[in-house]
Structure 1
Amino acid sequence: MRYLIILFSLFLSGCADVASLNENQQIGALAPKPLYRDPVFDGAADPSIIFNAAEKKWLMFYTNRRANVPGLTNVSWVHGTPIGIAESVDGANWSYRSTVNFPKDIPGTSNVETATYWAPAVLEHEGIYHMYLTIVPGVFEDWNHPRTIVHLTSADLKNWAYQSTLPLTSDRVIDASVLQLPDGRWRLWYNDELAGKKTFYADSKDLYHWEDKGSANLPNDRGEAPLAFYWKGHYWLINDLLGNIGLGVYRSSDALNWQRQSSNLLDIPGTGVDDQNGGHHPEVIVSGERAFLYYFVHPGVNAESVYEKEPALDVKRSSIQVVELQYVDGWLVAQRNNPTYVSLLPGSTRQ
């Protein structure tokens, strides 16, 4: 009888969660929890999502951490990482596709046995796909090694050509995010590790030639993976606050001057499968009036876990999740315990 009571209570709780969604939020495909786990290394992280018009499918490019490979010491498992690809017809149900076969002429990869690829940022413009990718020249036991951001292009999201290494503030830069401004310029935000994990930015007229502009001047700025998008009449920037305290949120009218939201997103652990930790490295797809926040979680990490020191599989593995953003009193809310019904219009982006 006690077991039946518990089941009935869980059922009522689930009904209450659904009832708290408005009608619009119940349109689409119900996303599972977790949304996606990589079947090869079990270390999916840093998602970047784009619509493949030729195939009429969504593709997720992600850092494929080697979470289940035995014998990797310290943080070597977070190096030597390929970029994985998952595919979906609805943005809610994903299956593994392959890894990216990068060209051999990328600086920092040609003279090493195994290169490290992190944090792809993929976009489409005038029929050409662009990727801004973090490169680390090898596999290392610590974090004290160069990182650069390179520009690659493709006509089909399969074959990539190296274009350039971006001239940014230092040789320790990671996590690009690119957005087009109303005047046609492109702006790229990134993290400079040598500047105390702060956010910097660069501008371009054509996606190929970039001029670094220095600090983005975010209030209380320390984090990584800055992700910019436009929604509900505002520019937004969300970043990974490191540790397990969730995502910071910034709002702007001009993509230059930012206000910090008083509360973080995804800082309180969720109740769904593999969602019991802070959210990391965001991606946002704006679809009509709706916006969907994709993120990854280390479900096995707790306050006592340090995955550099205790490289157990359950501590290292990571899962991708999704939640719908809500716009409440001028700021962002993400109710990760509610069911998420994903509805992505073909060609949706972060614009």
Structure 2
Amino acid sequence: MSAPLLADPLGGPTDPSVIRNEQTGQWWMFYTQRRPADSGAGVEWVHGSRIGTAVSDDGARWLYRGVVDGLDPAGEPGPNTHWAPEVAWDGTRYHMYLTWIRGVPSTWAGHERRIVHLVSDDLEHWKHRGFLELSSNYVIDAAIARTADGLLRLCYKEEAEASTTYAAVSPDWDNWSVEGQVIGGAPHEGPNVFELGGFFWMIVDEWRGQRVYRSDDGLSWSVQGLILDSAGVHPEDRQVGRHADVVVCGVEAVAFYFTHPEWDGSNDVELQAGALRRSEVHRARLWVAAGVLLCDRDAPVIALGRRMPERNMRDK
């Protein structure tokens, strides 16, 4: 059965990204640390967020270890807004692609949202590589993948184009060329790409569950159904699963996602207050059968352990 995985001191963990620490063998979770108790105007509680971290030996029991310092560019002391970290290992060092917003806005619109690239040797100390020049300055939710052609692709939410998924391509983690829209249709966010069961998969958050797309090469996609759209049995896992990350372990995978356990069913978070803002991170089992991605948020989930799982295309 799924259960809340970590005790975040502010009560607002969202957008988890999970990676193995190559130096210690432990698993690290990076996440957006929202501020649900903040009394500021509008959606200030969603902004002004830091990046929280937690560590685990098995992917089930997580210990909060604090926030990441040094993520603001030079000359931008803040407070600023940090969202949706994507963290990956290239075989030598770690890369973080982070959504960065200047200041603490009280509204959704009227300010730029960009993706900044940082690198680290140890997951603790990060150096800036600069902002990515993408399709606009209204982009969030980076997800990096190595596709069948051997190149890296960065999928992200393009808010300037009806909140759909765009992609950029790179040979080296640093230099990116925009390819354009890869997933259209209904507005969505939080793309995540992984390999499992002989296919590439992309899941995107439609705020009613995760829409599933399948591909043979990670370049062209066909749509399937939804996962994490129906309630789990745990009393605090009854709402839809939002903005997920996936860790592949052989023939199965673990999805880490967040929920609002006391959500009232409205997407107007600007009007939410108190407990309705609270969020939690849960996990679910993923596997492939007959070419279909299946998910069970109530089934026992494989323990990640300290050993290295089978590599997926995200080098995670």
Bin the TM-score by the shorter chain. over 0.9
Which residue, out of 194, 197, 205, partners 2:163? 197
Tell me, yes or no, if the aligned pair for 2:256 and 2:283 is still in contact at 8 Å.
Answer: yes
Which residue, out of 240, 264, 267, partners 1:278? 240
Tell me, yes or no, if the aligned pair for 1:37 and 1:320 is still in contact at 8 Å.
Answer: no
Q: CA deviation at 1:56?
A: 1.7
Q: CA deviation at 1:305?
A: 7.0
Q: Which residue of 2 aligns with 1:90?
A: 58
Which residue, out of 291, 313, 316, partners 2:253? 291
Q: Which residue of 2 aligns with 1:311?
A: 273
Residue type at the aligned position of 2:24? E
Matches within 5 A, 1:20-99: 33-38=3-8, 40-69=9-38, 71-99=39-67
Matches within 5 A, 1:25-174: 33-38=3-8, 40-69=9-38, 71-106=39-74, 110-111=75-76, 113-144=78-109, 145-174=111-140
Is 1:342 aligned with 2:303? yes
TM-score after normalising by structure 1: 0.84
Can you list the C-alpha shifts for 1:16-73, whole angstroms capped at 9, x where unaligned? Answer: xxxxxxxxxxxxxxx76112231x211000011111121121100000001133x223
In the alignment, the residues of structure 2 paired with residue 285 and residue 336 of structure 1 have an alpha-carbon distance, to the nearest angstrom, of 15
In the alignment, the residues of structure 1 paired with residue 79 and residue 100 of structure 2 have an alpha-carbon distance, to the nearest angstrom, of 11
Residue type at the aligned position of 1:191? K
Tell me, yes or no, if the aligned pair for 2:57 and 2:304 is still in contact at 8 Å.
Answer: no
Does the residue aligned with 1:294 lie in a helix, a strand or coil?
Answer: strand
Q: CA deviation at 1:257?
A: 1.4
Number of aligned residue pairs: give it. Answer: 311
- Structure 1 gaps of 5+ residues are 1-30
Q: CA deviation at 1:341?
A: 3.8
Does the residue aligned with 1:342 lie in a helix, a strand or coil?
Answer: coil
Tell me, yes or no, if the aligned pair for 2:20 and 2:27 is still in contact at 8 Å.
Answer: yes
Is 1:247 aligned with 2:202? no
Can you list the C-alpha shifts for 1:249-293, whole angstroms capped at 9, x where unaligned? Answer: 0001121211110x2101112220321100000100001222111
Can you list the C-alpha shifts for 1:304-328, whole angstroms capped at 9, x where unaligned? Answer: 574311312x110100000110212
Does the residue aligned with 2:264 lie in a helix, a strand or coil?
Answer: coil
Does the residue aligned with 1:76 lie in a helix, a strand or coil?
Answer: coil
Larger Rg: 1
Is 1:264 aligned with 2:233? no
In the alignment, the residues of structure 2 paired with residue 250 and residue 152 of structure 1 have an alpha-carbon distance, to the nearest angstrom, of 29
Matches within 5 A, 1:225-244: 225-242=190-207
Call closer, same or farther: CA 1:268–1:104 in 2, change over 3 Å. closer
Can you list the C-alpha shifts for 1:92-115, whole angstroms capped at 9, x where unaligned? Answer: 110101110125535xxx345311
In the alignment, the residues of structure 1 paired with residue 44 and residue 186 of structure 2 have an alpha-carbon distance, to the nearest angstrom, of 28
- Structure 2 gaps of 5+ residues are none
In the alignment, the residues of structure 1 paired with residue 158 and residue 291 of structure 2 have an alpha-carbon distance, to the nearest angstrom, of 29
Call closer, same or farther: CA 1:337–1:104 in 2, change over 3 Å. closer
Q: CA deviation at 1:163?
A: 0.3
In the alignment, the residues of structure 2 paired with residue 247 and residue 32 of structure 1 have an alpha-carbon distance, to the nearest angstrom, of 17
Richer in strand (by share): 2
